[in-house]
C-alpha cells in the first residue's frame, strides 16, 4: 500500500511540473501563429497597395484625360475608356495627381490606398480591424513612408504588434515591411 501511494505522489509531481510547461509552450505557439497571421494580412494589403500605386504614374502620364486642363484630350478609344472608368473610381484606389514626382512621395495617398486594400476604403473599419489584430495604436500606430528612386517605388510601413500573452511588458513586437515596385512610366 505504501508503494502505491509513492507512485501516485510521483505521478502527481510529474504532472505538476510537465503540465505548466506544456501549457506555456502551447500558448506561445498559438500567439506566434496569431502574429504570423497579422503580418500576413498587413503584407498582403501593402503588396496590393504598392502594385496599385505603381500604376498611377502610367495613368497620369500616358492616358490623356478630358478632366485635364490644357490641350490634351482622349488620344483614342482606350484613353476614353480608362478616363471614364477613373471618373467614378474610389479615391482609395486611384489618384489623378503626380504624387510620385515628389522626392518622398506622399504618405497620405499611400495610407489611403492601404486602407482601400485592407478594408475596401472604410477608414473606421480599418481602425477597428487593426485594433482587433493587435496593432498597437490601431491605424494611427502605423507609419507610412514612400520613396521614389528613379523608376523604383519603395513603400515602407512600421508598426508594433501586441503579443497577446505579455510577459513583463515585453509583448510589443516591432515590425517593418518594405515593398518595392517599378513605376509604369
Cα atoms found within 13 Å of the Cα of residue 133, Cβ hemisphere only: 26
Collapsed DSSP state (helix, strand, coil) of residue 101:
helix
Contact 57, 100 (CB under 8 A): yes
Q: Where do the DSSP E strands lie in 33-136? A: none
- State mean pLDDT over 148-168: 86
pTM for the full predicted model = 0.79
Closest CA to 130 of 69, 47, 39: 39
Q: What are the domain boundaries of the chain? A: 2-182
Q: Residue 71 is placed in which grid cell? A: 490641350
Closest CA to 52 of 94, 86, 85: 94
How does pLDDT run across 65-123, given as a tens digit for each residue? 656 554 566 666 766 676 666 666 677 887 777 777 776 778 888 999 999 999 988 99
Amino acid at each position: 500500500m505504501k508503494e502505491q501511494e509513492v507512485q501516485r505522489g510521483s505521478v502527481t509531481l510529474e504532472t505538476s511540473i510537465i503540465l505548466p510547461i506544456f501549457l506555456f509552450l502551447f500558448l506561445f505557439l498559438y500567439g506566434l501563429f496569431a502574429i504570423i497571421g497579422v503580418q500576413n494580412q498587413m503584407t498582403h494589403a501593402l503588396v496590393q497597395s504598392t502594385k496599385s500605386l505603381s500604376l498611377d504614374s502610367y495613368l497620369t502620364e500616358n492616358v490623356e484625360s478630358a478632366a485635364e486642363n490644357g490641350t490634351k484630350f482622349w488620344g483614342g478609344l482606350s484613353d476614353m475608356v480608362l478616363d471614364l472608368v477613373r471618373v467614378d473610381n474610389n479615391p482609395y484606389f486611384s489618384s489623378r495627381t503626380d504624387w510620385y514626382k515628389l522626392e518622398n512621395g506622399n504618405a497620405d495617398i499611400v495610407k489611403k490606398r492601404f486602407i482601400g486594400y485592407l478594408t475596401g476604403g472604410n477608414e473606421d473599419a480599418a481602425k477597428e480591424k487593426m485594433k482587433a489584430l493587435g496593432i498597437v495604436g490601431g491605424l494611427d500606430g502605423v507609419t507610412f513612408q514612400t520613396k521614389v528612386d528613379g523608376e523604383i517605388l519603395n513603400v515602407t510601413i512600421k508598426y508594433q504588434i501586441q503579443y497577446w500573452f505579455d510577459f513583463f511588458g515585453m509583448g510589443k513586437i516591432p515590425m517593418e515591411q518594405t515593398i518595392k515596385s517599378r513605376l509604369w512610366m
